[in-house]
Amino acid sequence: MESWPYKIVEGSGEKPTVVVQLKGGKKEYMPEELSAMVLKKMKESAEAFIGREVTDAVITVPAYFNNNQRKATKETATLTGVNVMQLINEPTAAAIAYGLDHMADGTWHNDKNVLVFDLGGGTFDVSLLKINKTGVVDVKAVGGDTHLGGEDFDMTLVNYCAQEFKKKHGEDIKGNPRAMGRLKVACEKAKRDLSCCIFASIEMDCLYEGIDFSIKISRAKFEELNSSYFEKCIKLVEKCLFDGEIKKADVDEVVVVGGSTRIPKVQRLLVEFFDGKTLCKNMIGEEAVAFGAAVLAAKLSGNNNLTWDTVLQDVTPISLGISAMTNGVEDCMSMVIPRNTSIPTSKKNIYYSRINQTYVAILVYQGESNKVEDNVLLGRFDLHGLGSDGTSQLELCFSINANGILQVSAQETSTGQRKPITIAKALNF
C-alpha cells in the first residue's frame, strides 16, 4: 500500500475501501466497485467489436484465489449486469488453449502431463494437469502466491533507485507519491527492456526538488535484486509437483504464460529445474488465458463447431475446515476439504457436543495450518438447541460448486434442526 498513490481505509463491515481524488473531492469505493468499472469498460469494448450486447461471460481468476476473492469477483460481475457462466482458474484456461493449439497440428496421440507456469503482473500460479486428446482437462494440483509478480520486481528496482538517489543527492524521495509514481513507470519500462537487452537506462528530468536522475541498470543487477522472488517461484513449482504426486521427469510439457515469464532468469531457472527441458512458448503469454476462456465460453454457449470437446475437472486450491468454539475458546482447525480436492464436491463430517453445551459456534476457515490464527476466517454461524447431556450429534456439510464458491450447513441429527450459510460476504478478503 505504501507505493500506491491513493489511500486504503476501513469501510463498512470491516471491508477495505479505496479513497481517491475525484472532481475536486474525495470519493470512497469498494474494490468490487472499481473492478466493476473495469469490467464495464471491457464489456463495452466487446459489444462495440461484435456489434451486439454481451450478457454472459466466463471469467478467469488466479488459481490460488481464496473463497472470498472468488465471491468478490462474482459480485463485480453482478454490479456490471453480467451473468457469470463459470469462474475458471487462469492456468486451467491456458491449458485449454494449449490443448486446442496442439490438437490443430495433429501431433497429439497420448495423454500428457502439463505444468502451466503463469507469472503475471501481480499474481503467480502454477498448475499440474493431465490433458488427453479428447479434451478432458484434469487438474491434479495447484499452487501459487496471489502477491507475487511483475509489480514486486518493479518495486525492488524502484527502492534500489530511491536508495541510489539518496546516496547521490542526500534526498529521500520515498515520501513523495508523485516522484515515486514517475520512478515506478520508468522502472517498469527498464524491466521490460532488460528482457531483451543486457543494460537499460533510467533517465528522468526533475525527479525531485528540481534534481535530475539517471542510472544504468544491468540485467545481472536486476536478477540479483529479485533473486529471492525467482527462487520462490521454483519452490512453489516443486511443491505443486509434490502435491500432484508426479516426478518432474514425468512432466511432458512446461507451458509458460504471463508477461513476467519473458524475464530470461525465470526461464533459465525453469529449464534448469526440469533438467534442460525446452519450455513451451508457442502461445502469446498475455493472450493464452483469454483464449482458453473464450473456448470454454463457446462450449457453454452451445457452439458445436469446436474440434476439441473441453471437459474440465478442476480442484480447490486451499484447504477448508472449521473450528468449533466452546465457552468462548476455539478448538484447533478441523480439516473438512483438503486442498487439491476435485470440484464440484460435497463432504460431510460428524461432530459431537460436550456436557452442558447447549449451542455451538462454528467458524469456517481456509488455510493449511492447524492453528486457526494462521488461517483465513471466512464466516461464522451458531447452532442452538443442543442437548446438555453431551449426546447431540452434529452433521456438517461443505459443498463447493464449479466456480469454487463454498456453502456450509450444519444439522443436529436428532432434532433435525439445520442452519445453512453461504460463504459470501465473509468478513474481509
- In order along its 429 residues, the chain shows pLDDT tens digits of 776 778 898 877 677 899 988 888 889 998 889 999 999 999 999 999 999 999 999 999 988 888 888 888 998 999 999 999 999 988 888 888 887 776 655 555 678 899 999 999 889 999 999 988 777 888 899 988 988 999 999 999 999 999 999 999 999 998 888 899 899 999 999 999 999 999 999 999 999 989 999 999 999 999 999 999 999 999 999 999 999 999 999 999 999 998 899 999 999 999 999 999 999 887 777 788 898 899 889 888 887 676 566 777 888 888 998 886 555 556 688 889 998 898 889 998 887 777 666 777 788 898 888 888 888 888 887 777 666 666 677 788 899 988 888 888 877 776 655 544 444 333 322
In this chain, the answer to whether the domains covering 7-86 and 150-225 adopt an identical fold is no
Task: Supply 9's cell numbers.
Answer: 481505509
116 SS3 class? strand
Task: Supply 307's cell numbers.
Answer: 474440434
* Vertex 123 angle, CA 424 and 80, to 5°: 45
Domain ranges, ordered by start, for the chain = 7-86, 91-146+229-309, 150-225, 320-422
Residue 129's CB: how many other CB atoms inside 10 A?
Answer: 30
240 SS3 class? helix
Query: What is the Cβ-side half-sphere exposure of residue 21, based on CA atoms within 13 angstroms?
Result: 3
CATH of domain 150-225: 3.90.640.10
- Report the alpha-carbon distance of residue 327 to residue 235 in Å, rounded: 41
Task: Supply 86's cell numbers.
Answer: 463459470
- Report the alpha-carbon distance of residue 95 to residue 123 in Å, rounded: 17
> What pTM value is reported for the model?
0.81
Per-residue model confidence (pLDDT) at position 423: 43
CATH assignment of 91-146+229-309, among 1.10.940.10, 1.10.150.120, 1.10.10.2120, 3.30.420.40: 3.30.420.40
- Return the CATH fold of 320-422: Substrate Binding Domain Of DNAk; Chain A, domain 1 (2.60.34)
- Report the alpha-carbon distance of residue 154 to residue 189 in Å, rounded: 9
Q: What residue spans of 129-273 are helical by DSSP H?
A: 150-169, 177-193, 219-225, 227-244, 264-273
* Vertex 230 angle, CA 229 and 234, to 5°: 115
Per-residue model confidence (pLDDT) at position 391: 66
Pairing label, strands 320-326, 334-337:
antiparallel
- How far is Cα of residue 182 from the mean position of the Cα atoms in its chain? 28
229 forms beta bridges with none
Cα-based torsion angle of the residue sequence 318, 319, 325, 326 in order, rounded to the nearest 10 degrees = -160
The answer regarding whether domain 7-86 maps to CATH 3.30.420.40 reads yes
